[in-house]
Structure 1
């Protein structure tokens, strides 16, 4: 078994796990950036942040949609209602 203790550590499975890892990382990027933007845009003080910073966060958050050929453009923004539903009680603005 290629000197491994588990067949999951062999070259039969490691490429599959590597693919999952990149998808998992992409999902985490999207989730974190859509949450950050939604909260920042709902907070009056955060709105004072320069537009370039917000654009950078949005661009990086939308990156998996472009690179991984995920959903069509604009799908990133469609996640805002999900964040509002989750955090609406906490941030009631």
Structure 2
């Protein structure tokens, strides 16, 4: 049930965020060509297409991998991203 709720609410949340970035950047000048507010349309298209194409691959991989291994891989990725963000944040000081 939690997975279905997460999957069902992910799209509306993402859509609301995209709308916010569009609205907040509409009056900003000197944005790259093909920008709609703070949303750069070529990137939006590439990310959307890749997400649609890779979602079934990710779902199959999640069902094929043992739960313990999947949790470790996910935790490792989160740890690396957190360490990178901490490094970048502290290097600005």
TM-score class, shorter: 0.3 to 0.5
Q: TM-score, normalised by structure 2?
A: 0.36
Q: TM-score, normalised by structure 1?
A: 0.36
Structure ranking higher in strand proportion: 2
Greater relative contact order (Cα < 8 A, sep 6+): 1
